[in-house]
Structure 1
Amino acid sequence: MNERLRWFFVIAMVHGLLLAILFKGVWSGTSTFVAAGDSIDQSFMWLAKIFAAARHGEVALWDFNVMSGVSFAGELQTSPFYPVAWVVAWLLPPGTLQAFDIFLVLHFGIAALGMTALVLKLGLSPAAALVSSAIFAYGTSFSLRVGGQPNLFASLAWLPWVAFFFVAAIRPGRLLSSTAAACGSGAAIALSLLAGHAHSTVLALIAAGCLLPIAFDNKPGQSWKAAMPAMVQSLLPVALIAGVVAFLLALPQITATKEYLELAYKWYGENYTSYPHIVPIENFIKQGVGFRDLVTVLNGGQVRAEDGGTLFFTKSGLLLSAIALVSILYFRMAKYYGILISVTLILCFSITFSFAFIMPFSYIYMNIPLINIIRSPPRALFVFGFAAALIAGLGIDIIQHLVRRFLPARFAWASTIPVIIVVLMLAVELRSFAPRRIMIDVAAQQGVIHQALENPLAEKIEALSNESGTSIASMRPVT
């Protein structure tokens, strides 16, 4: 086992501990993410239906209703083909709040491990991997979306894995390992889509594409212009393999969703849209982030836009990012230039997209295929958090490097001191950030819970159960 893999497992155990501490209310059944938004209106009961079907070896394809029903698989956010949901279905009793919550906690872990793998693959230190993964998973806009839009959240959890496999595939190496990594990137793209939201998948592709500058190990003295032909030559087969794998794995969902969007979908907003339902430009601009929302980078609050989100990535992360930027430019740390360029590209996209009123970017984005399906500007803040977490990890890596550079060799151990300080600061910040914003106490919020229990889908399932004579009372949520 190589050193990078050993550190991956060590950090994975740390994240296991963090998941146990941060979400202890979920494990004990006293807290839940079913607090507002889609978790109450749809996601909870949709997953209950999927869990129950999977336990019977079935895939939930149809939603029985008037006129013989409607396609359950057509609505992408139902995610009936999502393998993670099938696995959870066999491990936990379907229809309980706790099963739903644990399913979501697992995606915090998926995101954290993906970020860990990516940062280690980029050649940064284990400390950088721990810091970046903790910030992204538990301290950004991604963290806040868990209850409001569980499917969007679950899809976003695969973003770091798409990026990791892309970097692994594009970097020079053996043909077999590069091909396997390209297949892994395709699988991660498919899982992001199957988890229930195309917007997350598009954002993952954008983030991975922006990492192209750090995916290559340039020869000393070789310019980016000279390296460009090799980049393109390596990129094309990777993109082709990943695209084919993603398409084949997601084909059942793509087929059902395309038909649904063409025949049954309606744009719920001002003005009229037709397939593929691109949001009208005036609606897009009105939903953007404003300059007054810049304060959220410090206070952790939500932006004023209807869709929410935040620029926050912890105060520790902000400090580390400042250290990274100043140090790279002042000391001319060329080995970090690739990461800095990639992060800058992601930040430029996320800022120009989320601040939709900044012309002419809105008009440009709304005319680029795939990107123009992202109808809400604040959703670019998810990749802002991803990039910010990366540069924060870069900051702790640089601090360690500078300590070792300026202190005598016998004091090399001193490079662990700033790591300990940063980890302790992060632990305090994260403990007070995500849990208190995204979870509610089950006993104190019975009104909210009952709203979830009274979902029409629950009544339909129960009625069908009574008619068939087969009891599926376990699908009735337990509180």
Structure 2
Amino acid sequence: MILVVAASVWLIAFLIAITRAVTLSEAKGLHFTDKILRSAQNDPVRDLIAIGLIGAATLGFFWRVIFGGAWMPAGGGDLAQFLFPTYSFAAEWLRHGVIPLWNPHLFGGMPFVGDIQSGIFYPLNLLTFFISSPLTFRDMELLSILHFLIAGAGMYLYLRFTIYDLRFRTLRLSRLASLAGALAFEFSDLFITHFGNLNLIATIAWMPLILLFYQRAITDRRASFTIISGILLATAFHAGHIQMFLFILIALALFAIFHTFKLDADKRGQTRMNFLFFRVHPRLSASNFILLAGIVAFGLSAPQLLPGIEMAQNTVRAEFSYIQAAEFSLPPAQLIGLVVPGFFGRGPQAAWGPWQRVEVGYIGILPLVLAMLALILRRDSHTRFFGLFALIGLALALGGYSILHGWLYQFVPGFGQLRAPARFIVLFDFALAALAAFGFDALLHALPRASEIAFKRFVRVAPWAFLLIALSAGATAYAILILGQGQDAVLFARIANATNALAFFILLFALSIALVCARATRFFRPRAWAVLALALIFFDLFSLGAHTDISDDDPTREYDHPGAVAFLQSQGGLFRIDPRGTGVDHFWTADTAILYGLYDVGGDNPLVLADFNRYWENYGSRSSRLYDLLNTRFLIGRKNIALDREKFRVAFDGAPGLNIYENTRVLPRAFVV
């Protein structure tokens, strides 16, 4: 609870500072000078109320975790098995005033600061480490939830305070439209799928704010906004997920290209603009500002970036082939998840299919319809750019199924060591959420004549399109369900779940089309329509996402081995334990050693040092002296494991499901030859 209060105070103060910064920028007449619009829209209190609604929505989404005693993700995932032990190790040493450069507890010892996944310099982690003593898994869950809020609040601020020059007017999006886009992004599929990958969502959650300050630096011609963007970029880096950080860099590069070729300056009759102490051509400003942001981010990230680069060159990831890098691509057949996320099962327990479970990019049905309307009704450069941005994100998410990802792997440094290209879908979702906000805002205002005509055509066609899709898809699904009753029970359950998911899509699609048609007929006042639209988005995303990958079982119970741990801790001298491949995966979690001050030849970390991994894979059998050289005194294995009984003896058999065997030929940690 202390963590929640402290983090909330920090976030509110931070958001107030952001709101004041961009509001004062406009008040000074730096760019946006329409007095009527400024007086109506520049009200930070109302924006904070909107952010408060996002906070309330976040609490409502995670009510089972916060108030109901449930646990996420089910089984713990990386949050329990990797990040919780890693953060606990960092917290313990930092509370003693020591920055742990080295982790001696796993894989025979490996760099800690050099492992960017450690998140050791991330401000919110540091706050948590010093407030929560000891760190608990519930703290980890609350940190994940907090980053949902940061993503939603950041997206709201991005949509609300970015200035758009349209073909027929210059505007900032309304609060309600920004709120719709924020909900669509915050509860999009990548965030739902990766609740347990705290460092992943913590990194990407900062992307909207980074892009906000970068764009405002260009439109307001203020280098100070670029510096803030660089600080936030460094913050995202320290959150500890290099793939998401590179995604943010790609987004920045695309925005820089867009602004480089956008002739805003011609509209103002300007030929030069200020950059620090110089006056440069407007076309150069985007690249100059991104360079400044990069310099600031590099300077603040260097303490972990430089050792991280060195470590990355010595891990197993440095030897990735393209086939490995293309693993966990988004199969084209799974694109049905954009509208029916549960077709192939959404949570890991229900997922099925001949491919790995990946994120599919669902942001809600009404947001998809609104995004389509934005592309139809708005012909400005911003809308076209976000449409192209979405296509690029989708093409990259296809991974091995599209050529674009292969080029990225081959020609862009850093991407050759990463896999799971399906995660690029977050760029697609970001663009779609922005387009949904554009479409939402367009329906709240009077449209130009050409757009009004296009909207009426859409309203005439949409109901018929809905009927065609609903009748054909619904009839087919129910026919397969009825005819499949005599099939295998598992197969029939999958058919039933897919049919149920499809039926819910049809319901949401019907409500979305009805709302759009109601707006066309002016059946509701704009504000009433907006509230209903937000309620539908809320109902859609929460109904399909709030109960995904959740359990009533505490995932940290797998660390509870009082007898075995007490026995190991009572043994004198330095030694390592070995639970690798011994049949105890369901009893002994890989990173248990780090929580109890033990030393392990294994662990759970994707950035294993290549040299150690090569040694482990080639030492032969456990009867080899090369095995003894690792200082492995105790082996943790199942009770009937086949071992060299002349070498290994049972030392402890008081734990259910496992025994501890002592290696009688173990060599010391270090010795003189």
| Gap change, CA 1:27 and 1:57, over 3 Å in 2 | farther
Pairing partner for 1:153 from 184, 201, 209: 201
Alignment partners' CA distance in 2, 1:67 and 1:417: 59
How far off its partner does 1:240 sit?
Answer: 2.0
More off after superposition, 451-460 vs 252-261: 451-460
Q: How far did 1:398 drift?
A: 0.6
Any conservation in 2 of the 1:159–1:204 contact (CA below 8 Å)?
A: yes
Structure 2 stretches lacking a partner, 5+ long: 1-19, 24-41, 163-171, 274-279, 453-521, 561-587, 600-673
Deviation, 1:4, is 5.5
Which of residues 26, 44, 59 is equivalent to 1:5?
44
Is the aligned partner of 1:132 residue 2:181? yes
What is the identity percentage for the equivalent residue pairs of Structure 1 and Structure 2? 20
Aligned to 1:450: 557
Provide the C-alpha distance between the structure 2 equivalents of 1:65 and 1:321, rounded to a whole number of angstroms.
50
Q: Cα 1:435–1:93, aligned 2, differ >3 Å: closer, same or farther?
A: farther
CA distance in 2, matches of 1:378, 1:66: 30
Give the SS at the match of 1:402. Answer: coil
TM-score for both structures, normalised by structure 1: 0.81
1:344 aligns with 2:451: no
1:217-266, Cα deviation, whole Å (9 max, x unpaired): 7267799xx99x94432123212211111111111111221222233x11
Match status 1:462 vs 2:596: yes
Aligned: 1:16 with 2:55 = yes
- Partners of 2:326 and 2:419 within 8 A in 1: no
Amino acid at match of 1:450: R
CA 28–5 in structure 1, closer or farther in 2 if over 3 Å, else same: same
Cα distance change, pair 456–380 in 1 and its aligned pair in 2 (3 A): closer
* Deviation of the 1:282 alpha carbon: 3.0
Structure 1 residues 419, 181: CA separation in 2 closer, same or farther (over 3 Å shift)?
same
| Counterpart for residue 385 of structure 1 | 429
What SS does structure 2 have at the residue aligned with 1:31?
coil
**Aligned-partner SS, 2:556:** helix
User: Measured at CA, do residues 104 and 67 of structure 1 come closer, stay the same or move farther in structure 2, by a change above 3 Å?
Assistant: closer
Partner of 1:260: 311
SS in structure 1 of the partner of residue 445 of structure 2: helix
Q: 1:306 to 1:150 in 2, by over 3 A?
A: farther
- Per the TM alignment, residue 358 of structure 1 is displaced from its structure 2 partner at its CA by 4.5
User: In the TM superposition, what is the alpha-carbon distance from 1:133 to its structure 2 partner?
Assistant: 0.9
Q: Which residue is 2:375 aligned to?
A: 325
After TM superposition, the structure 1 stretch with the greater mean CA deviation from structure 2, 160-169 or 352-361, is 352-361
Q: Structure 1 CA distance, aligned partners of 2:448 and 2:404?
A: 44
Q: In the alignment, which residue of structure 2 is the partner of 1:211?
A: 255
Which residue does the alignment assign to 1:235? 286
Does the CA-based 8 Å contact 2:105-2:598 persist in structure 1? no
Mapping of residues 388-403 of structure 1, within 5 Å = 388-402=432-446
CA separation of 1:16 and 1:309: change in aligned 2, threshold 3 A: same
Unaligned runs of 5+ in 1: 268-272, 329-333, 466-479
| 1:291, distance to aligned residue in structure 2 (A) | 2.0
1:73 aligns with 2:113: yes
Structure 1 residue 420: Cα displacement: 0.7
Question: Which one of the candidate residues 141, 144, 155 is aligned to 2:190?
Answer: 141
Q: Which residue among 402, 407, 420 is the counterpart of 1:364?
A: 407
Other-structure match for 1:475 = none
CA distance in 2, matches of 1:439, 1:322: 33
After TM superposition, give the deviation of residue 145 of structure 1 in Å: 1.0
Within a 5 Å distance, the mapping from 1:225-304 to structure 2 comes to 230-263=281-314, 265-267=315-317, 273-274=318-319, 279-285=320-326, 287-301=328-342, 302=346
Amino acid in the other structure paired with 1:325? L
Cα shift at 1:101? 0.8
Mark the structure with the bigger radius of gyration: 2
8 Å CA contact 2:189, 2:361 repeated in 1: yes
Query: CA 1:93/1:339 → structure 2, altered by over 3 Å: closer, same or farther?
Result: farther
TM-score (ref. length: structure 2): 0.59
The equivalent of 1:64 in structure 2 is 104
> Is the 8 Å Cα contact of residues 44 and 452 (structure 1) preserved in structure 2?
no
* Structure with the higher helix share, 1 or 2: 1
Aligned to 1:474: none
- Aligned twin of 1:427: 538
Deviation at 1:42, TM superposition (A): 0.4
Q: 2:160 aligns with which of 120, 126, 148?
A: 120
Shift of 1:313: 0.8
Bigger RCO of structures 1 and 2 (CA < 8 A, at least 6 apart): 1
1:201 equivalent to 2:234? Answer: no
CA contact under 8 A between 1:281 and 1:362: conserved in structure 2? no
1:299 to 1:115, Cα distance in 2 relative to 1, 3 A: same
1:80-119 counterparts in 2 under 5 A? 80-119=120-159
Cα distance change of structure 1 residues 295 and 255 upon mapping to structure 2, 3 Å threshold: same
1:440 matched to 2:547? The reply is no
For 1:112, give the aligned amino acid.
G
SS in 1 for 2:536: helix
The count of aligned residue pairs is 432
Alignment pair present for 1:51 and 2:162: no
Query: 1:166 aligns to what SS in structure 2?
Result: helix
Which residue of the partner structure matches residue 64 of structure 2? 25
Q: CA deviation at 1:118?
A: 0.8
Q: 1:354 — aligned with what?
A: 397
Matched AA of 2:177? A
